[in-house]
Every structure is written in C-alpha cells, then in structure tokens.
Amino acid sequence: MSNEKEHNKQFLDLYGKHSDELFRYCFFKTGSRDQSLEIVQEVFMKTWIGMEKGTVMDNPKAFLYAATRNAVTDWYRKKKPVSLDEMHEAGFDTSKEEEGNSFDNLEAERIISMASKLEEKYREVIILRFVNDLSVNEIAQMLGEKENNVSVRIHRALEKLRKLYIK
C-alpha cells in the first residue's frame, strides 16, 4: 500500500534525523545509556503506532522532543530521585560500547562529568540549544516557557559552564 510505504519512509526519515539527538538529550538528562536507549525506543514506538493509526503530526520534531521529555519525567518519577552529586559520583553511565563509540575518549569523559556538575535545568538548555541546535523558540515551546525566560536561562547556563571550564 502506498500509504503504508509513505508511513515507512516518513518514520525512517524521522528516526534517521532525530534518534541520535534524542538519545543524547536523554543521556544528559538521565546519565544512563541503557535508560536512554529504552526511552528513545519507547518514544519512537509511540510515534510509529501513532502514524499507523493515521495521526498527522504538524511538527514531528516538536512532538518527538515533547514525548522524550515526558518519558524522561516519567522515568524520574518512577525512580527514586538521585542527586546530581550521586550521579556524578557514579560517573554517569559511560559504559563503553563497541563500534568505535566515543566514550573511550578521555576528553569526552571529562565533558560528561563536567556537564553532570551543572544543574539539570541548565544542562538541559545547553544541550538543546548548542549541541542539538534547537532554536530558542523551539526550546520555549518544548519547556512550555516564555522565550525570554529561556534566553535568560541559556545565558546563565553558559556562564556556569564557562566557570566550570576555567576552573
């Protein structure tokens, strides 16, 4: 069926474009590779089922980010809260994987451990704005906040990150 083929193509497109960045977003939120894998899979599974049902997405990227953020929030709720310190002590879950994953890179380890020292709300906007290249507007929509607030937060986050870096 051509309709089905279209779904397939659209889905594969979305998956190819966004799976890495959603995974990264989850990773910097949860600090766990396994958990991030699970969350991303769940989000795409929901997306796929939605597409099969014929749900039309005006803005698939926004939908994916919103769904991922909700899934992460659910995960936080289910888990007992972990403090950032604990998270850092656990060294984030940077378990190395085959196929040339980058965690064997000491620099990357350092970046991740540094990011884990940032407060979560700052870490989130840094990743979204600079690493995943979302616009301030997109971030504001996703977080349900005013663009102005988001800009201020990004500014503060940069300042904090810079201090961590220079230390």
Partner 1 sequence: MKNWLNKFIHEAREVRLTAREKRAMLSAIIGPARIPSPYSFFLAVVEHRHRLAVAAMFAAVVITSGGTSFAASGALPGEALYSIKVNINEEIQSFVAPNPTAKAKVEVSRTEKRLEEAESLSKSGKLNAKTQAIIETNLERHSNTLKASIATLADEEAAATVKEVISGLNSTIEVREAVLSDLASSSASSTGGHLDAVIEKVNKVKKEIDDIGKDVEDKDQKKKDGEKKQKEKEENDKKDSEEKNDEEKDEEDESKEDVATSSVSIIFTTTTTVVTGTATLSDIID
The residues binding partner 1 (CB under 8 A) are 4, 7-8, 11-12, 15, 19-20, 23-24, 27-28, 37-42, 44-46, 48-49, 52, 71, 75, 97-102, 105, 107-108, 111-112, 114-115, 126-127, 130-131, 158, 161-162, 165-166
Contact 135, 128 (CB under 8 A): no
The DSSP symbol for 32 reads B
**158: Cα separation from own chain's centroid:** 18
Closer of 90 and 111 to partner 1 (Cβ): 111
Question: Rounded distance, CA 49 to CA 102, Å?
Answer: 32
Which of residues 89 and 159 has its CB atom nearest to partner 1 in the complex? 159
Torsion sign, CA atoms 134, 57, 66, 72: negative
Least distance from C-beta 37 to partner 1, angstroms? 6
Instruction: Please say which residue, 48 or 63, places its beta carbon nearer to partner 1.
Output: 48
